[in-house]
Amino acid sequence: MLLIALLLPAINALTLHLNISLKDGGNVQKVLTTPWMEETFETTIWNSWKVTHKRKYDSVAEENYRKEIFVKNKKDIDEHNMLYKEGKETYFKGINQFTDWTHAEFLNILSNFKSPDNATEAEVIKFDASVELPAKKDWREAGAVLPIKNQGSCGSCWAFAAVAALEGAHKIKTGELTDLSEQQLVDCSYRYGNQGCEGGWPLKELQYVRDNQGLDTEESYPYMTTMGYCHYNRKYVGSLIKQIYRTQTGSEASLAMCIAGYGPIAVAVDATEMLSYSGGIYSNLRCNPHNLNHAVTVVGYTPDSWIIKNSWSTGWGEQGYMRLARNKGNMCGVAMDGVFPTL
């Protein structure tokens, strides 16, 4: 009896969450839940999420504030997922490390991507219709992609995107998959206009590596989530860059050709509404191809999607990846600003 008494609250909470429906004379009637019942379930989910993401707050007031944000975001997630189940959306959402963030806080790390005003220093690879492309390509299958990383709260997406492209190029050229340092770029490439955790340009980062004659390994120069002093050491160089190329602006055909022929490509996208993406093919008419605010790496493609490697940990998206709609009007600007190196 004691065990039943202890389990009863949890059972009740689960029952309420399922929104059990009863049939009455052939009509389905939804069992209504009270505000207290909803609050109990919300608290259960909230407490579980805090444990998973190791969240601790400085005060009760702050925790209450974060919980309100969490509940609001979860409501948005649930409403979107209902549309997904009805076939009205192509992707679904889920709670993740950002669920206690306001949208403004999320935009803070996005706005730290910067697109260069003048990118004429890199040669453009235009689409060549005579080149036969494979129907699909995934550089993960060739061992040219390292596991998902996590930029944390530092606005260093630009460094992670370009490093992933360089790691792929290095593997394709040498046969060795080497983990390279994002932190060196955050600390050392400021003379190229990059601003550490306050933003940067993948193109400028690659130019720095080329001119610097190398990028250190991650082991010798590990990521710290903040900007520090530059302590690059030439004896720990993990890769060099010989040449830098750009994809043809706005051309998904050029992007596909470069991915198939060269390797992973650093690109920029409008990630304004990607906070809670959890799976499926991301297609969003509100995604603005001219509002590029986040750098990622395209590591492959299928007939209907681009395979995107992000830097928000494996807790976001499909184990850290996203499938972005392909040939849907340059979705989110994926083909606007592609850049990649060769060795």
Those residues whose C-beta lies under 8 Å from the C-beta of residue 89, and which sit 6 or more positions away, are 80, 83, 280
**Which pair of structure tokens corresponds to residue 251?**
């051309």
Strand bridging mode 321-325 / 277-282: parallel
Rounded Cα gap, residues 203 and 162, in angstroms: 8
Q: Give the residue among 169, 177, 289 at the shortest CA–CA distance from 241.
A: 169
Those residues whose C-beta lies under 8 Å from the C-beta of residue 231, and which sit 6 or more positions away, are 187, 221
Residues 172, 175, 181: CA angle, nearest 5 degrees: 80
Q: Which residues are catalytic?
A: 157, 294, 310
**Which pair of structure tokens corresponds to residue 318?**
């499909």
Please report the DSSP string for 20-77 in residue order. -EEEETTEEEEPP--HHHHHHHHHHHHHHHHHHTT---SSHHHHHHHHHHHHHHHHHH
Q: Give SS3 for 146.
A: coil
Strand bridging mode 91-93 / 265-269: unpaired
Rounded Cα gap, residues 223 and 238, in angstroms: 15
Computed on alpha carbons and rounded to an integer, the radius of gyration of the chain in Å comes to 23
Of the chain, the end-to-end C-alpha distance in Å amounts to: 71
**Which pair of structure tokens corresponds to residue 256?**
């596909």
